[in-house]
A and B are shown apart, each in its own frame.
Chain A
Amino acid sequence: MERLGTLEVKNLNKKYRSQNDDLLVLDDINLTVQPGEFISIIGSSGCGKTTFLRLVVGLEKGYEGEILLDGQRLNGPSLKRGVVFQDHRLLPWLSIEKNVGMGLKNPKSGESRKTIQEHLELVGLKGFEKHYPHQLSGGMSQRAAIARALVNRPEILLLDEPLGALDALTRMYMHQELERIWMKEDITMIMITHDVDEAIVLSDKIVVMSSRPGTIKKIIPVPLARPRDRAGYDFANIKEEVLAEFQLHTDHPFTYSI
């Protein structure tokens, strides 16, 4: 059986209509994501990366070009595509287990209960079934949101700056967790981020976007063994390469060219 979770984006344009003229947000985006790949999209704010993700989710409508999931043109949101938003968006009046079960057709059935339990274990929230979102820390809430997005077994998981609101240490810990979940679930993941380290730690490929209009500037592969060493030489080289795209590379004061 062919593996599911191939995303193809061909000649994608997105315009926002304003009174006088159209504002081009995304300009000729072409991208292919293989099943099981982890892709990061990185770019400064306003480069249209969130718009791109929302188009793939189906929450944003009206575009030119094609977005295909396993060869099928997207038409509105679907359970095949899970989403984790930057703010966890857990329903505050539901317990964690009910939040995680939100997407299930029949959350009270024995099978659903088992699935919910499995996913709570997957994200390390066993024992917090009856808790409410306001009783959880930011990191735990985001874990619950990840469990909720995965519970329907989507083919592809889209993450919109999922760790952006977390503190630096929690974020590094969540990188490990996210990598573990990605490997265990064997699922395609596309993550929006503005954190270069995060992108290198997690991704197979980094898509660098530039602003106004949003275009893909460069796709940088990350052929490093996992788990990745943030302090390693190759890591630093790739970081340099990514930062160079933002005119942020540092001149090394102790290297001389003859």
Chain B
Amino acid sequence: MSIAAKITIFIREKYHGFISFLVLFLIWSGVCHYKLISPDFLPTPATVGTAFVKVVSSGILGKSLGGSLIRIAEGFMIGTTLGFLLGAVMGVSRTLERLFAPLINALRQVPIIGWIPLIIIWCGIAETSKVTFIAIGAFFPILINTFEGIRSVSHSYVEVAQVFEYSRVKLLRKIVIPGALPSIVSGIRLSMGTSWLLVVWAEINTRSAYGIGDLLSSSREEHNPGLIIVCILVIGFVAFLINELFGHLEARLNTWKKSYR
């Protein structure tokens, strides 16, 4: 299939989604055209377009996005790796579950913002604190989903494996992990979404050199509403891409699962 054909199909499938964007854009243009709201509050599409071109051509947007993505990559990797490992051992061992579950359940009730004072005392307000913050946010969704995924694997399949004399390692590799995989991927998707949210939050609140949140913050300080809108659109777009990517992965892994729709 040619790329053009693929794009056509993509647009047709997402047709309804594009309509909502178009309607919002038309209302926005209309409001600006008839000067219903002062451009100091709501910049015109043209202003936003200009701001976008400027921030792209100067390379600032690229650098900011890059900075944020590196932070996410670090925090997300640390958080999901630890979360996956703990979730997996808790899923496999009842003893470890009894040992860790109360602590985990208590800690995950703490809103992520509630960690900030402690993180700042421990890690300051530079890179480490942001990465730690993201890691904590990414840690819990993957942990819970890995644990639940493993526990949802039916004992019937374990019995089949016993009849075939599977070793413990083979049982994990062939039955437990594949059975838990859809749930684990959902967990990764949730963790990724949380990471993106938290990186923006962290950058707005504790400034760094380059980051999409920093760009947002500085555009407010410079009173550049056009740039603010650009930042919001970029943040939304990246979140959309992340979600689509993992959504596709999930759908591919879930082909064997029949859902009610």
Interface, chain A (partner B; CB < 8 A): 57-59, 76-79, 81-83, 85, 87, 89, 91-94, 102-103, 132-134, 152
Contact = CB atoms under 8 A, between A and B. Distances in A.
Given A85-B159, A91-B160, A91-B175, 11 more contacts: A77-B165, A79-B164, A79-B165, A83-B160, A85-B160, A89-B160, A92-B256, A102-B160, A102-B164, A132-B255, A133-B256
B168 interface: no
A230 to B, nearest CB: 33
B256 A93 contact: yes
Of the four ranges (under 10, 10 to 19, 20 to 34, 35 or more), the interface on chain B belongs to: 10 to 19
Contact of B163 (A77, A87, A92, A134): A77
Interface in B224-261: 255-258
B179 interface: yes
B165 A92 contact: no
Nearest to A57: B163
A98 B104 CA distance: 38
Given A77-B165, A79-B165, A102-B164, A92 B257 contact: yes
A83 B174 CA distance: 19
**Max chain B C-beta neighbours (<10 A), residue from A76, A89, A93, A134:** A93
B256 A77 contact: no
13 contacts: A59-B163, A78-B165, A79-B163, A79-B165, A82-B163, A91-B175, A91-B178, A92-B256, A93-B178, A93-B181, A102-B174, A103-B164, A152-B164
A148 B106 CA distance: 45
Which A-B residue pairs are the 5 nearest by beta carbons? A103-B164, A92-B256, A77-B163, A77-B162, A93-B256
A134 B165 CA distance: 26
Interface string B164-206: 1100000000110011010000000000000000000000000
A134 B160 contact: no
A60 B162 CA distance: 11
A59 B162 contact: yes
A134 B256 contact: yes
B157 interface: yes
B2 interface: no
A91 B164 contact: no
Given A91-B157, A93-B179, A134 B258 contact: yes
A162 B234 CA distance: 57
Nearest to A90: B160
Q: Which residue of B174, B175, B255, B256 has the most chain A CB atoms within 10 A of its CB atom?
A: B256
A113 B258 CA distance: 29
Between B162, B163, B174, B175, the greatest number of chain A beta carbons within 10 A of the residue's beta carbon is seen for B163
Contact of B256 (A57, A102, A132): A132
B156 interface: yes
Contacts of B164: 77, 79, 102-103, 152
